[in-house]
Chains A and B, each alone.
Chain A
């Protein structure tokens, strides 16, 4: 893959991703401010805290996190010459704008991260169909130039992507809900294992899908382990259980070795110099996330942290730490020179702000779990934590502005 030949679709996806990061971070800062000074809410009229939260969450997930993946898909399917790839990204962003209007006007499914209903759901589906057509068109044009394996894998990928709109309709329906750990009302260890395995699959295929040069033979046995863990996930999911059930704890613990395996597997490839910082950052955040996720599932710890800022910390560890650095890695590799240059600045500060943010909320969550008295009072430790959170949010917002502006400096289409 020629990294320098970004193509309109990839550059547009990168710019939009960074734009949505900026908007979602700005909303996050607004939410942090509302927690400190609830009276500020009157400035937003009827759009109170509860209506802004889905805007923050969904723009982070469907804007900031998803668009780098779109960028990756454009890279895999080689849509560089497509005149519709860029417009497909615009369509995606259009759906996000429609979604934001829905959430702010109180139209919601009530399902976190699956908050697409009525017109917003259909607009996202239209955007997905347009995107699928762009990829399918590229596959039809390019497939003869690809190896048999790539042709098969990308064809299979298209079939799977075709099912996404239907899955979205099912998943967003108020009538569906995943299995829960009955002791906490949260996800089971098995479902956490399953969702994380899908992330591991992405991490495993990333270097080769990008066409990075292999320095040493791959560890093919990793895929066997992956398959075995997937079977374990299905068995554990079928059996059910809670965080007091040993198989669930052990099952989630199966993720721990992947910290090292992914890192080791990636070392088999030659990574472009510009991607090194975000690759390392991602691996660190990935490791911290896996360890923290397993620890927080243990009996006693989960009981104390559930429903507290401790789990908000974990969510930020996942989104602002791991997922963001993964997205940034993809953008440095796929978003073109200007984007890569823009992302070469501010990385350390970003990581520091995320780290402090997560740490402070984790401590806050631990203290919250010890007593409920904070609900009707404002203990100083909680105030301090919220102030630090706001400041970290401002830093992340400033860096997002820097990155977005940098990505727009000059046209990079080729």
Chain B
């Protein structure tokens, strides 16, 4: 086997072993063993020892000149010892020592491994091997048998993984010569990876501790899927990195994680979040492992610069970023949107731009502080109508609905009566609007009942099958403002009911019935309430205070038999029965109204 292949395989084993140990033991099994015996401040103290050991040992070893194969193997031996001993003690002190040793071992191992990777592999193929190692680590940890094993067994498996890593490391060559390289702090990488680790850790913690979220994303039945996604994405990441472009990869990882963090909060999209979350994690994790040795500017790869970079990156972005992310969301049940955006800004700044100078930071700080103060302000209107009007503005209803009936136009017939410009301009703000994706709402309170509006806000297409209106169901969750919005819409139009009735009473259709499509029109516009057969038993019938009319057997309280029955029915179809749940169908053409009327006349016994 040539050197390229043997080094690649050795790196793969070392990366897979170290990473899988970290994921399986440091993050899970050790924590569970601890939680079984300790709690509260004691638990946090022990975990703090691990972080402290991880950060400090990384810097110490990077400056000691001892970075290399031997230190890596010794560190792995330390990991094995901790894994074996962790299930043998109940003592807080011993746990603290084990935690410290594990932190030191992992801190040392990661820094040494970064140096060994940089010294043994070239970026082009090295990234592929690192991707394979990272993918194996994630894939292995998500195998159901391992993922669900008892902590003691997971500890044993982890010890075996550390041994594998040591074997891999032993086959790598120490860097020749130890000339000190550039030791500048890799701020850009720290910013980008720190933001990703911070966001990932926060999201992971929230999901892991909210049963509803956990079941919807990585419950036990989804482990194989997660393993496959992790593995394949890490391989893809290795390929991507081998072509260059770690920044675009990190930006993509952020986009995936942010989307997952957003989607996981909603039951409807939680399943999708479960697909893209592991993909985002594997993408950036592969880059994180490869960065110090293969992706950073390769100045002095043989010497201390790689180790120094690794110490800074893993210490600040890894250990501190992770602890910080978890610490900030301990009491939350949802992934906060602010976290996702803040991480996005950090990733954007770190990937797209040169690092800003202090002047930029001063100005952005001043503007950010000004905005932030205002963002947290809550203006609560005391009056219900005003609150509803505020919701109308907040949700941007104005971008799809006008509140202006143009005098002398067809607006007047279907959405009238006209209101005087002076009255319209009294509104603060004025809500005339400039675009209609839906109907004018000036007098909607007279044309639609409270129950109809509520149903339409929650599920628009249940009442108007081809509606483009999005659902506003969230406004009707407990504490929502949907009722205020309905109150505003109702109150602003309810006084117009007599005028609408008068208008309807004088209206006559100006067309002939359009063929035989009455039945289809009934199915589209009426059946959801009146039922397909017109018996008043549509699927939404129970949503209204008074059940919809039985259009076959009656009673026909609003359209009793008599003169001009057809015209009276047509008027009800067109303008509804203002003051009741029966809506008008104002936008139907007269020919369609007549076709529908003919169908209704046929239904009547």
A contact residues vs B (CB 8 Å cutoff) = 19, 34-35, 38, 41-46, 48-54, 83-84, 86-88, 90-91, 94-95, 97-98, 101-102, 105-112, 117-123, 126-127, 130, 174-175, 177, 180, 182-186, 303, 306-308, 311-312, 371-378, 408, 411
Contact = CB atoms under 8 A, between A and B. Distances in A.
Given A84-B359, A378-B466, A373 B398 contact: no
B269 interface: yes
Contacts of B266: 42, 45
B455 to A, nearest CB: 15
B180 to A, nearest CB: 29
A185 B424 contact: yes
Contacts of B362: 87
Interface stretch (B88-96, B119-127, B189-197, B430-438): B430-438
A87 B428 CA distance: 36
B371 A53 contact: no
A123 B525 CA distance: 49
B523 to A, nearest CB: 13
Contacts of B409: 303
Nearest to A306: B406
A151 B600 CA distance: 79
Contacts of B265: 45
Contacts of A48: 395-396, 470, 472
Interface string B410-436: 100010000001001100111111111
Contacts of A127: 363, 367
B451 interface: no
A186 B434 CA distance: 7
A122 B374 contact: yes
Interface in B360-402: 360, 362-364, 366-368, 370-375, 377, 379, 392-400, 402
Nearest to B474: A46
Interface stretch (B63-71, B350-358, B499-507): B350-358
Contacts of B471: 41-42
A87 B360 contact: yes
**Which residue, of A88, A106, A123, A311, has the highest number of chain B Cβ atoms within 10 A?**
A123
Interface in B530-551: none
A342 B429 CA distance: 42
Contacts of A41: 470-471
B589 interface: yes
B469 interface: yes
A297 to B, nearest CB: 14
26 contacts: A19-B352, A41-B470, A42-B269, A42-B471, A45-B266, A54-B396, A54-B399, A83-B359, A86-B359, A87-B359, A88-B363, A91-B364, A105-B375, A118-B375, A119-B370, A120-B371, A120-B375, A122-B374, A183-B407, A185-B402, A185-B404, A373-B587, A373-B592, A376-B587, A378-B466, A408-B352
Nearest to B338: A101
B565 interface: no
A119 B435 contact: no
Contacts of A174: 428-429
B251 to A, nearest CB: 12
Contacts of B374: 102, 107, 117-123
B603 interface: no
A42 B268 contact: yes
A104 to B, nearest CB: 9
A119 B377 contact: yes
Contacts of A126: 366-367, 370
Contacts of A185: 402, 404, 406, 421, 424, 432
Interface of B: 259, 262-263, 265-266, 268-269, 341, 345, 352, 354, 356-357, 359-360, 362-364, 366-368, 370-375, 377, 379, 392-400, 402, 404, 406-410, 414, 421, 424-425, 428-439, 460-461, 464, 466-472, 474, 525, 585-589, 592
Contacts of A84: 359
Given A94-B364, A111-B429, A376-B587, A308 B436 contact: yes
Contact of B367 (A95, A186, A375): A95
Contacts of B372: 98, 119
A50 B430 contact: no
Given A42-B470, A123-B370, 18 more contacts: A43-B262, A43-B269, A44-B262, A45-B265, A50-B395, A84-B359, A86-B359, A87-B356, A90-B363, A102-B374, A110-B429, A112-B398, A121-B374, A122-B370, A130-B363, A175-B428, A186-B432, A372-B587
Nearest to B356: A90
Contacts of A180: 421, 425, 432
**Which residue, of A45, A118, A119, A174, has the highest number of chain B Cβ atoms within 10 A?**
A119
A377 B431 CA distance: 25
A98 B367 contact: yes
A308 B586 CA distance: 17
A48 B475 CA distance: 12
Those 5 A-B pairs whose CB atoms lie nearest each other, nearest first: A119-B374, A50-B396, A98-B371, A106-B394, A118-B374
A49 B466 contact: no
Given A45-B266, A53-B396, A110-B429, A375 B438 contact: yes
B396 A51 contact: yes
A35 B341 CA distance: 25
A35 B468 contact: yes
A393 B421 CA distance: 36
A224 to B, nearest CB: 35
A379 B371 CA distance: 44
**Which residue, of B266, B360, B432, B586, has the highest number of chain A Cβ atoms within 10 A?**
B360
Contact of A49 (B359, B370, B399, B589): B399
A86 B362 CA distance: 12
B590 to A, nearest CB: 11
Contacts of A308: 436
A46 B394 CA distance: 11
Contact of B400 (A50, A108, A112): A50
Contacts of A52: 396
B72 to A, nearest CB: 39
Contacts of A46: 474
B588 A373 contact: yes
A122 B395 contact: no
A109 B397 CA distance: 13
Given A87-B362, A90-B356, A375-B439, A184 B371 contact: no
A307 B474 CA distance: 28
**Which residue, of B259, B402, B468, has the highest number of chain A Cβ atoms within 10 A?**
B468
A87 B363 contact: yes
A252 B40 CA distance: 74
A108 B469 CA distance: 20
A49 B407 contact: no
A180 to B, nearest CB: 6
A107 B408 contact: no
B430 to A, nearest CB: 5
A350 B177 CA distance: 56
A183 to B, nearest CB: 6
Nearest to A86: B360
A111 to B, nearest CB: 5
A119 B373 contact: yes
A326 B377 CA distance: 38
A50 B377 CA distance: 21
**Which residue, of B399, B400, B407, B410, has the highest number of chain A Cβ atoms within 10 A?**
B399
Nearest to B415: A372
A98 B468 CA distance: 29
Contacts of A51: 394-396
A41 B460 CA distance: 13
A83 to B, nearest CB: 6
Nearest to B354: A411
**Which residue, of B364, B372, B472, B586, has the highest number of chain A Cβ atoms within 10 A?**
B364
Nearest to B374: A119
